[in-house]
Structure 1
Amino acid sequence: MIEYALLFGLGFLTAAFLVFLISPAVHRRIVWYTENRLKATMPLSPQEVRAQKDMVRALYAAENARTTQDLLREREKSLSLQLRHDALAVDAGRLAADIGELQAQIGEMHVEAAEQRSHLRKDENYISQLKTNLHIAEQSAANKESELTAMRTRLSKLSEQTDGLRIDLAARETEAESLKFRANALRDERDTLRQDVTLLQKRAKDAEQKLTQQQHMVIRLEDKAARESASAAEKENLLARRQQEIAKLKEQLKAANAEIRRINRVLRDAGLTKMAADLPAELTAEDTAASMFDTAAVTAEMGEDVRKRSAALAERLQNAKAVAGRDGAIREEIASIAANMVALTALNEGPSSPIRTLLADAGTKTPNDRVSLADRAAAIIANPVH
């Protein structure tokens, strides 16, 4: 706060000092302007004073002359106004007389106007009656005109309707002729359709007969497939028994191999190597067992394949009613399944099966272009893995 007070005091003193320095110059300037003004306004010589007096006298004389002229003009105006007043008074008397006469005329004219008003009212009443009569006549004329226009429009509509009826009549006649031609054409079409229906009925009867034959064939094939599936089940049971026998043979073979190895050791220990060489080898027996095991596996796989194909054939025979033209494929499938069954039986019976000799004899006896069941079975027996 003290700093602010000191700064304020310092500023105030600085301003006062500046004012103290500038004030003499300002005072001298004011004095100089005042002296110049006084010198310019005050006369400085007697000639100027006399000149000013002469100028004032001249101004007074001019003003006095102007005033006298104005007074003369005002007197002339008042005189002319007096004369005009006298003339206006004479005119006013004359106008008053005229006004009296005019008022008398106005009274007479009022009377005449009243009479004219009465006549005018009568005329207006008559005119109003005429207007009402004219309005009634115009309304009747307008009604008649509207009736006339309505009659004209009705007449035009009737003429248009007659023209339309004539056109419709002509169109109906043409339609009748076209309908006659169409009826004749429809009769011809009916005759042709009857012929087509008779042909279709004949074809339907033939198709029904064929369908019944196909149904009987399907039933026979289903019975045959059922028998084949039953035989396949029996073959599967036989295959299971053979697999059990193979397992037993394997066990016996293992025991025999162990016995052979034991005998070989005993003979080698005894010094009888020649007798040990005459004994059957272990690997040959194992190969025989392996081949028997492979044959059993192949027969099992063939049995499963035959069963699946029999089931698929049964489904195809069920669907054969809806799908026609596939008899050749079905016959081929049945022949293939039968050949597989024959081959499966021959493989299960082994090399001593009489089916092999029968197949060989059938293959030599029936030379034919078509593949027989014996050829199919022989091919499957020769190559069971396919």
Structure 2
Amino acid sequence: MIEYALLFGLGFLTAAFLVFLVSPAVHRRIVWYTENRMRATMPLSPQEVRAQKDMVRALYAAENAKTTQHLLREREKSLALQLKHDSLALDAGRFAAEIAGLQAQISDMSVEAAEQRSHLRKDENYISQLKTSLHIAEKASAAKEGELDALRMRLNKLAEQADNLKIDLAARETEIESMTFKANAVRVERDNLSQDVGLLQKRAKDAEQTLAQHEHAVIRLEDQAGRDAASAADKDTLLGRRQQEIAKLKEQIKAANAELRKANSALRNAGLQPVAADAVSQERATGETMATELETAAIATRLSEEVRKRSAAVSKQLLKAKSDASHDGAIREEIAGIAASMVALTAMNEGPSSPIRDLLPDAPDNQDGERINLAQRAATILSEPG
């Protein structure tokens, strides 16, 4: 704490010492500025003093002249104001008289205004009555205008309906004309259709006759197919037996061939001539003949089954053909094919010695567009049995 006090005192003394050192220079500077100012403002010679006095006198004279002029102007203004005051007093008297007259007029006018108010109230009442009557009249006129508008709209609608009726009438007339043309066309078409119906009836009768003939032929073919099916069943049983016999013969041939090979090998080993195979070849030929017969029987069985199916299909088509005669050609071709198959089946069942084979052509050669007869069809089936 003492150290701070000592430092503060030391600083204060240092500042005082610095001020003591700087103060003479500052004092001299102030004195110099003051002397210069006084020299510049105060006269130093008599001429300057006289000049200043003359200047003061001139300033006083100028101010005195200005004051005199101002006083003269003020006097003139006061005189003008006095005159104006007098004139205003005269005007005020005149205005007072006028005001008195006006007040009298105002009183008279107030009386008249009261009368006018009474008349105005009466007029207002009358106007209100007129307004109510006018409002009623406006309502009535509005109602009449509404009725007139409704009548105008109704008249317009009636005019539109009349125009529409005229248009409909014209359209009906055109429709009637078109219907007459159509009726004439329908009459012509009816005549043509009646002619066509007559032709179709004739064709239907012819088709019914041909259908009856085809039905009889189909019945005959079905009977024959039944007989062929029975014979085919018998042949199937015979074929089974023959196949069993062929299997036994094949086994015997295999056994004989094996024994023959063993014997030939033994003879070769012994240096002797081997045994000829004539018996074996005969047995083989017999087996091949039996195999051919079995194949022919199988083909005949398959052909008879096919003929039976085709005949059933043709009978169904004939039943449908009673109502539709557009497939007569196809039905005829199918019946001809069934008949040719029956001929070929009969020839197969009778064997190579059948007389039917002599009646059939050897090489059927058909040209384009030429009709194929029954013999050619049967020959084609026999030439290609598979």
Q: What TM-score, normalized to structure 1?
A: 0.60
Unaligned ranges ≥5, structure 1: 1-30, 347-354
Counterpart among 297, 303, 306 of residue 306 in structure 1: 303
Provide, for residues 336-378 of structure 1, a one-character-per-residue CA deviation record: whole Å limited to 9, x for no partner. Answer: 46425633663xxxxxxxx4364565469xx999536885587
**What residue number does 2:115 align with?**
115
Matches within 5 A, 1:34-49: 42=37
Provide, for residues 265-302 of structure 1, a one-character-per-residue CA deviation record: whole Å limited to 9, x for no partner. Answer: 555566553xx35x326984686377457636744763
**What residue number does 1:22 align with?**
none
RMSD (CA atoms): 5.4
* 147-156 or 310-319: bigger deviation: 147-156
Q: Post-superposition shift, 1:231?
A: 3.0
Q: Post-superposition shift, 1:177?
A: 7.7
**What residue number does 2:333 align with?**
328
* 369-378 or 189-198: bigger deviation: 369-378
Counterpart among 319, 339, 343 of residue 344 in structure 2: 339
* 96-105 or 167-176: bigger deviation: 167-176
**What residue number does 2:259 align with?**
259
Residue 97 in 1 paired to residue 101 in 2?
no
Cα distance 1:219–1:338, how it changes in 2: closer, same or farther (>3 A)? Answer: same
Check whether the contact 1:359–1:377 (CA below 8 A) recurs between aligned residues.
no
Cα distance 1:325–1:131, how it changes in 2: closer, same or farther (>3 A)? Answer: same
Provide, for residues 207-262 of structure 1, a one-character-per-residue CA deviation record: whole Å limited to 9, x for no partner. Answer: 34443443443343334334333333333332222221111111111222233334
Matches within 5 A, 1:96-245: 96-122=96-122, 190=190, 193-245=193-245
* 322-331 or 58-67: bigger deviation: 58-67
Instruction: Write the letter of the residue equivalent to 2:249.
Output: L
In the alignment of these two chains, the number of paired residues is 336
**What residue number does 2:85 align with?**
85
Whole-Å separation in 1 of the counterparts to 2:186 and 2:231: 64
* 237-246 or 148-157: bigger deviation: 148-157
Check whether the contact 1:221–1:317 (CA below 8 A) recurs between aligned residues.
no
Q: Post-superposition shift, 1:156?
A: 8.5
Provide, for residues 177-219 of structure 1, a one-character-per-residue CA deviation record: whole Å limited to 9, x for no partner. Answer: 8777776766665555555445444444443444344344334
Cα distance 1:92–1:265, how it changes in 2: closer, same or farther (>3 A)? Answer: closer
Instruction: Write the letter of the residue equivalent to 2:329.
Output: G
**What residue number does 1:23 align with?**
none
**What residue number does 1:6 align with?**
none
Instruction: Write the letter of the residue equivalent to 2:348.
Output: A
Whole-Å separation in 1 of the counterparts to 2:244 and 2:90: 180
Check whether the contact 1:313–1:333 (CA below 8 A) recurs between aligned residues.
yes
Whole-Å separation in 2 of the counterparts to 1:164 and 1:261: 118
Q: Post-superposition shift, 1:334?
A: 4.0
Cα distance 1:53–1:284, how it changes in 2: closer, same or farther (>3 A)? Answer: farther
Check whether the contact 1:339–1:374 (CA below 8 A) recurs between aligned residues.
yes
